[in-house]
Amino acid sequence: MGTRLNIRVPADFVLSRDACSYGYFLLAPNHWDVRQQTLARMFLLAEGGARATITQEQRNTHRTSRPGRISFPHVPGAPLRVGFDRALTRAEQIQARAQLTRMLRLDEDETHARAFHALDPRWKQSGRSRLYRSPTLFEDVLKTVTSCNVTWPSTIHMNRRLCDVLGESGSFPSARRMARARPGTLRARCRVGYRDQRMVELAKMFVPRGNKPAEVDEAWLTDPSTDDDTAFTFLTSLPGIGPYAAGNIMQLLGRYSRLALDSESLRHGKAVLGMTGTDASIMKRLAAHYEPFGEFKFKSYWFEIWDYYETKRGASHNWDRDEVGSSLTASKL
């Protein structure tokens, strides 16, 4: 019989809103079940892969959403119920709780949300504040690499192939497994293209060597004594990590003071914010537009984009991964 965990959450946490808040929830090995409103995925733990299904108490009846307002089916603050397909050791249970906390940002409590809403009150009514991320920094970094200079459907395909080819029982590959992979295997079987060598090099930087710690130290990157400029500079020194990727990894670390601007940003500036001019001038205007949101500027930027997607395709907790996920780009909305 598999292990079942009850996870306490902040009073404002809503699974359907906070899990379906960033595109990575659509990438393998994640699977959001629209009918059941549950999140399932393989976790890579000390004794191997373990599939978990995450649920939260739902309201007795689904309220009808008011025009322009999304109604979420889950009860705010209700504990998460997490069922695994196998028994977990005590050490694995601790590991699983830590990964769940990171993935769903359960360490961002109501105080964090209030600070964000004080700077940007547009999102207070919906309660939007958390952005979904992966259980580990390594998975977040690799997912970021697979989302650069490529269409979203290709990102979906790459991540599915990485799990199928290099993952354990369908989990996302570990840094150790990726570090041992041949670049040619990544290119041929996972279809990662020019990213192959860089992904192997990145993986090696996450693996300790003998008595030497890993070159990428998440504890240092998230330590409040490490300032944002220092963290950003370090990230841009990593193989294949440019300013866009570094900005995205910053928010995945819980540092929201940087933007990650790309072609979607230009589309947003033109179509939603009404900006005109050259691409370079629009990028500068976008940076200035979000400057007032200070330490939370990425959140303000992202929720504007997410809101646009939802006006086109409906509430994200009703998105089917295969149907909507493949069209989550401006050119197909």
For 311-325, what is the mean pLDDT?
Answer: 89
Strand partners, 55: 81
Instruction: Tell me whether residue 282 is in a domain.
Output: yes
Say whether both 11 and 114 belong to one domain: yes
> Exposed/middle/buried for 68, CB within 10 Å: 0-12, 13-18, 19+?
exposed
Say whether both 103 and 153 belong to one domain: no
For 119-134, what is the mean pLDDT?
Answer: 98
Using alpha carbons, select from 144, 140, 129, 131 the residue that is nearest to residue 21: 131
| Token pair in block for residue 306 | 């997410």
Q: Which domain holds residue 35?
A: 4-60+77-123
Say whether both 109 and 9 belong to one domain: yes
Residue range 11-34, pLDDT digits in tens = 999 999 999 999 999 999 999 999
Instruction: Tell me whether residue 241 is in a domain.
Output: no
> Would you place residue 8 in the very low, low, confident or very high pLDDT band (cuts 50, 70, 90)?
very high
Residue range 34-45, pLDDT digits in tens = 999 999 999 999
Say whether both 31 and 87 belong to one domain: yes
The pLDDT value recorded for residue 66 is: 52
User: Across all residues in the chain, what is the average pLDDT?
Assistant: 94
Q: Structure pTM?
A: 0.95
Question: Is residue 198's pLDDT more than 90?
Answer: yes
Instruction: Tell me whether residue 111 is in a domain.
Output: yes
| Token pair in block for residue 287 | 């940076």
Residue range 87-111, pLDDT digits in tens = 999 999 999 999 999 999 999 999 9
CATH number for 112: 3.30.310.20
Eight-class DSSP state of 209: B
- DSSP helix/strand/coil, 202: helix
The pLDDT value recorded for residue 190 is: 98
Instruction: Tell me whether residue 13 is in a domain.
Output: yes
> Would you place residue 60 in the very low, low, confident or very high pLDDT band (cuts 50, 70, 90)?
confident
Instruction: Tell me whether residue 280 is in a domain.
Output: yes
The pLDDT value recorded for residue 70 is: 77
Question: Is residue 325's pLDDT more than 90?
Answer: no
> Would you place residue 69 in the very low, low, confident or very high pLDDT band (cuts 50, 70, 90)?
low
| Token pair in block for residue 21 | 């808040």
Cβ-Cβ contacts under 8 Å for 293 (sequence gap 6 or more) = 119, 120, 299, 300, 301
Instruction: Tell me whether residue 329 is in a domain.
Output: no
